[in-house]
Amino acid sequence: MKNWGQTMQLGQVLSGAPLWVFGLIAVLIVLGVRRLRTREVPIAVALIPFIAFATWSIIGAVTLATLAGSTTAALAWVAGAIVGGASAFVLPEPRAHLLPGRRVRQPASWLPLTLYMTVFVARFACGALAAILPQQAVTATAIAVAISAVMTARLAGTVARWQRTAIP
């Protein structure tokens, strides 16, 4: 076991990461950058971040349930979801508008990109911690599940705030 005095170099951590991690960060960057401009998209496209984070959250909860039991997984997920749901209303994104033809107008915002990168970095750090210090795997995975639940609930709250309005 390494102690914190023998820290790993960032290159060592990155070289130990699975390849899918790099694809995931690329997708999250693309999704976030696309939100930097006001745009009109089909509802299905606007829901992609919610579906992606919900899936990531569920996978994490299932992983945690296998490590520590379903009660721990449920508690971590619910705690994160409460925080995320509240944050959607306390620090909301600019309100999107439902348009005719099953489309959504999403106003430009830096918030999605910032949140996507924050969640990615936090989840990556939790995964690295679990890999480097296996005795901390349950704690790291519980934190990762809570972080994913924060984002999932936040996105659900954002979708719930979409306005049905006629935009000229």
Cβ–Cβ contacts within 10 Å for residue 119, how many? 21
Average pLDDT, the chain: 89
pLDDT classification of 9: cutoffs 50, 70, 90: confident
pLDDT over 70 (residue 12): yes
Contact in structure between 156 and 162 (CB atoms under 8 Å): no
Contact at 8 Å (CB) between 119 and 112?
no
With a cut of 60, say whether residue 19 has pLDDT above it. yes
Helix (H/G/I), strand (E/B), else coil: 106:
strand
- pTM confidence score: 0.84
Phi, psi angles (nearest 5°) of residue 99: -115, 165
Q: For residue 167, what pLDDT is reported?
A: 53
Q: H/E element holding 71?
A: helix 70-90
Residue 93 has a pLDDT of 84
**What's the average model confidence in pLDDT over 37-59?**
94
